Amino acid sequence: MADKEKKQRIGPITFARQVRTEGSKVTWTSRQETIAATIMVVIMSIIVALFLFATDLVIGTVVRWITGLG
């Protein structure tokens, strides 16, 4: 364990340059792709919410019917 290499510390300016360089390598999505993905997420969230609501409603009704509390 004593042979571990110590990480070399870099200054904030060098770090900022490295971050900028790495950021330029990223393939960013277009505005149109981002909007399409956002719309799909909203639609899927609504579908899941409706499914969970309906499931809860059905299970709640069945439980009330079985227990006679409703």
Q: What is the pLDDT at residue 54?
A: 98
**Model pLDDT, residue 29:** 93
The answer to whether residue 4 scores a pLDDT higher than 70 is: no
Q: Which residue has the tokens 């070399």?
A: 8
Question: 29-62: per-residue pLDDT in tens?
Answer: 999 999 999 999 999 999 999 999 999 999 999 9
Q: What's the rounded Cα separation, in Å, for the pair 20 and 37? A: 26
Question: Mean of the pLDDT values across residues 20-34?
Answer: 93
Whole-model pTM?
0.62
Read off the tokens for 15. Answer: 């770090």
Q: Is the pLDDT of residue 16 over 60?
A: yes
Torsion, Cα of 51, 56, 62, 63 (10° steps): 160
